[in-house]
Structure 1
Amino acid sequence: MPLYSFLLLFAAMTGFVFSFIVFLYGKEKYTKNSLAIYNLLFALWCLCQFLGEISYSKSIVLFWTRVNLLFAVLIPYSYLIFVYSFSKSLQHKKFQLFLFGVLTLFLLVFLPTRFFVNDLYSTSFYRYYPKGGIVYILYLFIFIIQVLTGFFELLKQWAASTASRKNQFAYITLASIIGFGGGILWFLPAFGVDIYPFGILITPFYLIVGAYAVVKHRLLDIKIVIGKGIVYSIIIALFTAFYIVLTATLIKIFQVDYGFAAATIVLLFFSLFFDYLRRNIQHIIDKILFGRSYDYSSVIKELSYAMASSLTLQQIGVLSTKNISEILDISKAALYIYDEQNDRFSLFNKFGEFVELSQTLSKKAFRVALNNLVFLEDVADDGLSDFMRKNNFILCLPILQKNDLKGLIFLGDKNKRSSWRKEDFDLLETFAVNLYNALNNILLSEKIMNDQFEMFRDEKKSAISIMAGEIAHEIKNPLTSIRGLMQIFPQKKDDTSFLDDFMEIMPRQIDKISIAVNRLINFERKNFWANQKDRNNLIDVFEVINEVLIVFIPQINAQSIKCTIEKKYPLKIHFVKEDFERVIFNLVINAIQAMPNGGILSFEIDKNKLKITDSGFGIEPNYIEKIFEPFFTLKSDGAGLGLAIVKKILEDNKVKISVNSKVGQGTTFELDFLQNFEEV
């Protein structure tokens, strides 16, 4: 079998796959249907041409010739419909389409006659090839006119378009030049020009360019991995070639058609090596089409844990902009959180370079209801689209559930060597759901804190108000962990490692809530932080620090914080373990929040001392004495209870705490266990 015959079969199979994907997943009805039909006609033409090439009877070859010319006559007309539909000028081009439609119908009427195909003749490269009649000459003329009309429309639209739309027109034009440039060469033998069928060596590349445009530049907004279709087409083509070569070899050696034996060997080979080939070809295709890649399951797991353990809006902001941008290889991102009081979206965090990014966005200016992530091209609201275009955002991801909009994430385009994949959109949609829950949890907790502050601001040192604030603060942390675990439980219920962690962490978090509730019920009891019996327990300071740090691994990694523990002495103290964990927990939270852009968090364990040092913002000297007061805070979203709780627990256990801080250099908290440490 000649090489060009095999290429015809390959082009036909790839064309069918491409046409099916466009038809099934394309967004715009008329555009995707016209492109699907156009590719289907191309695939059918290739298939009929192939069937004609492998036929020996002249009458059968003539039959397949007339059938493939039927599809060939319709190809330029369907191409023109697609171009007009994609450029949104279909309604204004009705006359041109009617005129070319009449001419196409005229050609189809004469297709079965000798005026179109006069006869078949042999050439140096074809057993039989059609000899064009007088109508065939007219067909060539109409073919060229329709193709040039489509080219001029594409160039006109390209000149008037901007950004990603311009890229789409550019790639359609390139694919058209390749496809029709190769197609025009098929006319030459019909007029006596005896040349090798170079057209089939060129034409299939139009499908590759088309697939690249779909994936790389979101042609038709198809949000699936075209690469998978290409992978299976390549695998089928490889096995088809293997079958043909094997059959030809058997025939040549044994002079008998051992097609059944060849098929059996191919099926065996197929079953053994299919998955290996699929994985390797998929990797190559993904690398070519999409650039950078990541393990979807691992990233989802890491983001879910990080989200579940995020306790502040700053941590949420870093996850939503910096982390997402780095994972997806996005150029820029911005998080806006909805402010109910002012009915506006406020800029909370950003990543990337911006000329001028609005600090607030009016909700009233956005009249469109966002239910899912949306591309710039699909945004119907003028205010939102103008904002996105001005800042070079191409995606808007709403953070909402049941019409409760908590915020918006705006994302820039992928960097040059990467492109969008289906997994990216799945990741963003899953992330938005988890982000809504985390935001809702944090905002609700802060609202409770703020309400308490308003209620008790005139008596902020009242025992009941302090206790209520402490309980709310302590319940929030385990609830966040429980919510995060339950969100990912359906996805990870079969993961043995996850279930082990789940069974260990969940009871501990529930116990913390139970202890906090009992503390509220017994608030009148003095020093209920711990009874005397529990204080006799001997705990290892180094072990407690390590256990607490495990909870903060996602934030520490996300903010590029380096942790060090210098153990100068195996310090053990008489303390209730849960209370000491609470002390370390709050001090670590403060340290992490003080280093949003990275830094060093160090622990120094000595004979009767523990020093916790961060390289963060530092504290102004005039605020040092106030930081342990209930409800005093320097954070915009803080409740001012963390350090008050720390001091309360330490005083009840006769532990002295001191602070040394320098603005711009960092802060050190020193705990002095003078009375309750154990000599080793």
Structure 2
Amino acid sequence: MSLPRLFLFCALLVNIGLGFLVYFKTKFRKNENLAFSILAWAAAGWIFSGFMTYFHEGDPIIVFWAKMSFSTAGTIAFAFLYFALLFPGDRRNLNSTQLLLLALPCLFFIVVSFGTDQIVSSLGSGNKMFHYGPLYLLFSLYLIAYFISGFVSLIMTYQRSIGIERLQIKYVLLGMFFTAMLGVTTNLFLPMSGVSQFNWLGPTFTVIMVGTTTYCIIKHRLMDINIVLRKGTTYFLLMMVLFLPAALLLVYAQNLYFHQINYYFSIIVLLIVFLLTVFYDKVRAGAEKAVEQLLFKNRYDYRETLGAFSKAMVSILDLQSLSKKIIETITNTMGVEKASLFLLDEEKGGYYLLESKKVDVELSPSGLAKGDPLPRYLQKMNELVVREELLKGAHIQELNTVVQSMTQLEADVSIPLISKGDLIGMINLSHKFDKEIYSREDIELLSMLANQAAIAIENAKLYEDLKRSKSYIRRADRLASLGTLTAGLAHEIRNPLVAIKTLTQLLPDRLDDEEFRNHFLQIASGEVDRISSLVNELLEFARPSEPKLETEDINSIIDGMLLLVSTETKKKFIQIVKEYTHDVPPVTVDREQIKQVFLNVLLNALEATPENGMITVKTRSFSKPGGEHYVQVEFTDTGCGIPSEYLEDIFTPFFTTKMKGSGLGLSISSQ
């Protein structure tokens, strides 16, 4: 068998096989599958015609096979345009009339080619294999017009498509383009100039279309063809697609340039190629990184940015800031138009929208319920899901509801946030600005980011719980302090009320006594002001409030706390000595928290100071060597002091030497 026949025979087999594969290996047979199968079988017919032409070389019957070649070539043009209009997913619905009009030129040239000599008239001589008829040029224009129309349709669809459809169209477009360009050149343009010896190459170029289509079927489920291939089968098919043409080209090149074929040399070369293929995966990662650094710096920086961010996230403890950082980083580095972040709210039993970008979603006040199809599916799968992948199984009810939920959230990709086996949230991403599909690298990086984000979110939630716990402890300690003062405060309020009541009882009898009235008003007003000040201090101290830093006069705050403990000091006849520096500058503090600090220290001093003792409070301002200005508040008492062995533990939470103490006063004051 000559080399051209061998090439044509191999191309014939792969085209027939691809046609049957596309037609029979889909669950839901579509018109696009039928159109592509017709295209592959027409290509097989064209190849068979070429094979028979070379098989009967020198025999007049080859004119018949030449006419057959033109008939099948015309069918290829029709099938390609029909497929291009439908692909992907039967996006156009052509009725019978439209389909007939599309096929009329093809049918016309089939009849003309077989029944007349208007396209191929007779055998040629020399480099010119055939003499062509007057309709040859019109047939050529038909082929070119249909091929151009098909490519224009595919390009327009490519520009409008996103995700996996865009990737499928790209593979089909490239395979068809190179096959058509090379085939038209060798079998149309060169014969016009009288060169026909390369006609056998045109049909063999269909292997390019077969290769790209087969790869896209296996890798990206082209035309909804699901093939479950074991690794061995995959390698065998790749060997047939790649190594067989390579072997044939190698043999042909030896015969062309050296006029002999060395099979040992051919085996060694193919073995080297095979070894390079096997070890490619082992060196790919390092080589890819080096090439990206050298030639594709932007892509490499993009990966580095996501990697660095995944490490930095764990240091962000504020939940709102963290969620904003996650959304901003993903949308900016990956070029995503829309994104949303949902977190689990255990109390409401659903997922609420915490952060989003350009997402307009109408949700119930409780957000997404835990039983919603999307959270339930993410919890079940425990991995990132792509909406276009789920669309392949949209006939399954469970997947269809998940797809609908993702569509409502404008999500092309949903990334679960898993912590301790539970779904604590999800990140939803729309398509990219460039409408490209999420690559394997993108999915791996997003999965890594999701793991880091889940840890960071859990840390942030624990931090918020800790802050709330501290707030509750501070409030409890504040109320405990008030409880300590309750008896004395009641006495402090009751005494002025007794005086006011006595005066009001005497007032009717001495109403005409102006001196008594004036004296009564002065005493009553003073006692009321005193009660009002005491109650205001109590209310301000007991009222829970968010930390708020403001400029305050430290001396006036201390006076307020001394007022609260004044009853206790009177009971024990303790003298309060105030040594204030009156030009102390205002300080920026949280008024309520510093009140609690002063009250805790004063209560400890009162408990430690015996009767007839003294508590001294001093304030002064000073500057450190670096020039920083400070205000110092000093409390001293005449009590027993703190034993030296306890000094290191006085600020430890729950450490106390008192019978009824909580051990939290100084700990909270220190914080």
Q: Could you say which TM-score interval applies, normalised by the shorter chain?
A: 0.3 to 0.5
Select the structure of larger CA radius of gyration: 2
The two structures have a TM-score, normalised by structure 2, of 0.45
The two structures have a TM-score, normalised by structure 1, of 0.44
